[in-house]
Amino acid sequence: MDEFFLGIDVGSISTNLVLLDKEKKVRYSSYIRTDGNPIKAVKCGLRQIKEKFPSLLIKGVGTTGSARNLIGTIVGADLVKNEITAHATASSFFSPEVQTILEIGGQDSKLIILRNVVVVDFAMNSVCAAGTGSFLDSQSSRLKIPVEEFGDLALKSKEDVNIAGRCTVFAESDMIHKQQVGHSNEDIIYGLCNSLVRNYLNNLGRGKELLGPIMFQGGVSENKGMIKAFEEALGEKLIVPEHNKVMGAIGIALLVSRNVPEKTKFRGFELSDKEIFTKSFNCEGCPNRCEVIEAYIEEELLSRWNDRCGKWQV
């Protein structure tokens, strides 16, 4: 029976699952749209693994991402870690010499500074869409061009078009103006890529020493136009790893593999067939009126958290 370590990275846009074997090789990965329902996305991912690997043994499970605590509680994670630690772990594993990590997802972006495989600084942007992949998504809707085609079109640009990128609303107004004066879609799209890069570096990179080698990961790293724009702005060739979209899940699986539990707490792939839900109530015990979250599998109370005093915790 094959033995694996399972890593789960649950973000606002995608939910990624990875299986690592005992030799730390990626044997399986999935990239699933979260669509505002992380529990449903994880159940879908578990079901896919169960169908592809009818006979497997999970030695350990880790969760990371914005919904790491919720999903960790539900699946029975042996380890729960933040995204910075997970991404840095995976990046250093594949390229120990990496000193800077650029990570851009759909709703947030990260900059991680490493020196000698140790995280010494980081920055995150989860407030303004202009520094994330949703910036390109919103403009692709306006242009009626699939965002998946942006990269190839951007590489065909022949003229430098400057588009305001400090705000998504201003960018759209500027983009409309550029269309009206006759600029091509290729030039506008590459202008959007440059705009996102400027916003990212101004917001996250200010005051930081971005030394090479530099690794680029996250869903936006699939965009060839973004790679070119970063390389021109930084004057450095970027490393785009083979598993660029699921590095967080790989990182948390690696961390579990380095601290193998005596017996995993994983609840099994049968979770994919069970009803899992959460609900909440406001505690009236004191003026704090904490919103207490409850997680259920079928009708069984699994866990309760989010109260400050610990009165309701299970």
Write the pLDDT tens digit of every residue in 149-180: 777 888 888 888 887 766 666 667 777 777 77
Highest mean pLDDT among 112-116, 143-147, 304-308: 112-116
Considering the domain architecture, whether residues 220 and 270 belong to the same structural domain is answered as no
Q: Is residue 39 part of a domain?
A: yes
Q: Is residue 304 part of a domain?
A: no
SS3 63: strand
Greatest pairwise CA separation for the chain in angstroms: 66
Considering the domain architecture, whether residues 112 and 222 belong to the same structural domain is answered as yes
Q: Quote the CA–CA distance of 314 and 310 in Å, as a whole number.
A: 9
Give the residue from 193, 214, 240 where a domain finishes.
Answer: 240
4 phi/psi in degrees, rounded to 5:
-135, 160
Radius of gyration of the chain (CA): 21
Per DSSP bridges, beta strands 100-104 and 26-33 are unpaired
Which domain, by its residues, includes 265?
2-87+249-274
Q: Is the pTM of this model over 0.85?
A: yes
CATH number for position 196: 3.30.420.40
Residue type, 126: S
Residues 276-301 pLDDT 10s = 999 999 999 898 899 998 899 988 89
Highest mean pLDDT among 111-115, 144-148, 192-196, 283-287: 111-115
pLDDT for 127 equals 54
Q: Is residue 313 part of a domain?
A: no
pLDDT for 79 equals 96
Q: For residue 252, is pLDDT > 90?
A: yes
Considering the domain architecture, whether residues 107 and 201 belong to the same structural domain is answered as yes
Considering the domain architecture, whether residues 69 and 127 belong to the same structural domain is answered as no
pLDDT for 133 equals 63
Considering the domain architecture, whether residues 32 and 105 belong to the same structural domain is answered as no
Q: In terms of Cα–Cα distance, which of 61, 23, 88, 22 is closest to 241?
A: 88
Considering the domain architecture, whether residues 152 and 66 belong to the same structural domain is answered as no
Q: Is residue 73 part of a domain?
A: yes
Considering the domain architecture, whether residues 104 and 190 belong to the same structural domain is answered as yes
Considering the domain architecture, whether residues 40 and 123 belong to the same structural domain is answered as no
Considering the domain architecture, whether residues 234 and 268 belong to the same structural domain is answered as no
Report the number of distinct structural domains present in the chain. Answer: 2
Residues 225-248 pLDDT 10s = 999 999 999 999 999 999 999 999
Considering the domain architecture, whether residues 212 and 266 belong to the same structural domain is answered as no
| 125 in Cβ contact with 133 (< 8 Å) | no
Q: Is residue 57 part of a domain?
A: yes
